Amino acid sequence: MQKPKVYKFNAASFDTLTGFYTALYRVIPFLPDYKPAYNLDALHDVLYSGFGKHPVVLIWKHAHKSRQDLGIQTTRDFYQIKIDIGKPYNIQWANKKITALENGKGETLFEILLDLFSDHKNIKLILN
């Protein structure tokens, strides 16, 4: 069995979703010409690409900080930006997401990221 490669990124170096992508993408090996986009769909694609094809361990240092930084307010702001922009975003969907957050039933960006990683069987995410 192939020993998994270990990659680490540190939440002490960021406090936004953009910062998360920057920190994570710094440690993930990419083809030289490939520049991934900074959104959840692109991250999902990255995890299904070469990075997630073989077993890896991804250590998220200071994840407790990200839990707070990518929490309710940041998530609400994330959806509000989509509402403010309008098309091509689904405003009704974004409003439902905000309502769910306000009612304590919605997922924060941090939780969404955890769910996204859990979909990938070859990636073991360790919150440190």
Q: What percent of the chain has pLDDT over 90?
A: 84
Distances (CA, A) of 109 to 20, 32, 96, 113: 11, 29, 15, 6
Cβ proximity of 70 and 11 under 8 Å? no
Q: What percent of the chain has pLDDT over 70?
A: 99
For residue 88, what are the β-bridge partners?
none
- Please state whether the predicted TM-score (pTM) of the whole model is above 0.85: yes
Cβ proximity of 60 and 128 under 8 Å? yes
